[in-house]
A and B are shown apart, each in its own frame.
Chain A
């Protein structure tokens, strides 16, 4: 799909460096989770505790896909 240049110096073929990369990436990921939650909060979807702000339901105009289609 696309090629990327890594923005890290971990050799992911090395077991030890793989583990270090996972830990490092997990920390970055937690910050992305916060950003994502901030985005949902700014849209009024969740409250500051991360809970749904209202009893909103997915739009019925966009029916869910089937589980088999989602599975990959």
Chain B
């Protein structure tokens, strides 16, 4: 029902100390009444920023706030505002509104301890919110609580919610639905090449549902596209926990480790691939290269030989990369005749390719 339909106008005050969750749990606009959020108005007057607010912005917002309430009380129009109750103005306004026939309703959000609020304000400030030092939060917390008794005698109804604890991190339906919405948004951004945006969306999806493997997978791929192999490695490591039987995940993990030259970790990931997919030519070759890189050419040789064989079976005769790494391993082992033989094989492959023979075969 719209406010104009109400027989008596309503004044709603959403109150609590900083960090109590006023704007998130009960944003005043959700009442459907005319509303005024002092802090939002300050930010509007400061180009959208809540930090480094100039004094003029606060003064102007304060004036507008007072005028907003006075006009609504005078014309008996329902309205909603936020307050931390510390100043006397809120209770004064409520008394005047009550005398003018308003139903006055207070929603008060409390936390069990001030430390919770201090931490929330700190996190919020890091995310672009207003900056308040712990002493200020504590002072406002005490001031706000002290006013609650008096407020109870002024308002027609007082509803107190304990907001000490964050919502339980479950995969309840709304949370799961939200996670999938972020996943879809991320996939759209990824497909459009907006990888930074995709990363944000995938991370939010993972936050809401930490078992959402598709989000991990594409987050890792997005990091790859952004060239951030360290973060890609971390994500694929997490994904491997969710998909322990997926060789593709281990391969992606191996590739991320490979790119940051974390050879031993890469080798372990490629071995995991081969445990699940023994003839994976790329994994065989990469594992051989890892062994070469860690000064273990004798371990590299059998994997590179298997890689060559696998590539032949995959009809990839023009790919001489395994032979090249095999030749390097042979050099490291001072197996010169074998190295020469492999180099000759590489030359033969490349000549064939240049003459178009390989193309014909493929």
Contact = CB atoms under 8 A, between A and B. Distances in A.
Contacts of B38: 72
Of the candidates A7, A49, A69, the one having the most CB atoms from chain B within 10 angstroms of its own CB is A69
A41 B219 CA distance: 14
B159 A11 contact: no
Contact of B136 (A45, A57, A66): A66
B33 A4 contact: yes
Nearest to B66: A72
A13 B34 contact: no
A38 B182 contact: yes
A15 B159 CA distance: 11
Given A4-B33, A66-B136, A13 B8 contact: yes
Contacts of A34: 167, 175, 178, 208
B148 to A, nearest CB: 15
Given A1-B34, A42-B200, A52 B24 contact: no
Of the candidates A4, A28, A50, A61, the one having the most CB atoms from chain B within 10 angstroms of its own CB is A4
Interface string B93-135: 0000000000101010000000000010011111100111101
B32 A62 contact: no
Interface residues of B, number: 81
Contacts of A45: 123, 126-127
A6 to B, nearest CB: 2
A58 B125 contact: yes
A5 B32 CA distance: 5
B25 A10 contact: no
Contacts of B122: 52, 57-58
B123 to A, nearest CB: 6
Interface stretch (B50-58, B246-254, B288-296, B339-347): B50-58
B78 A12 contact: yes
Interface stretch (B80-88, B257-265, B299-307, B311-319): B80-88
Interface of A: 1-13, 15, 18-19, 22, 25-26, 28-43, 45-46, 48-50, 52, 56-59, 61-67, 69-72
Given A31-B175, A37-B207, A58-B133, 10 more contacts: A5-B2, A8-B32, A11-B1, A11-B6, A18-B157, A32-B25, A34-B208, A50-B166, A58-B126, A62-B52
Q: Which 3 A-B pairs have the closest CB atoms?
A: A6-B32, A29-B25, A38-B204
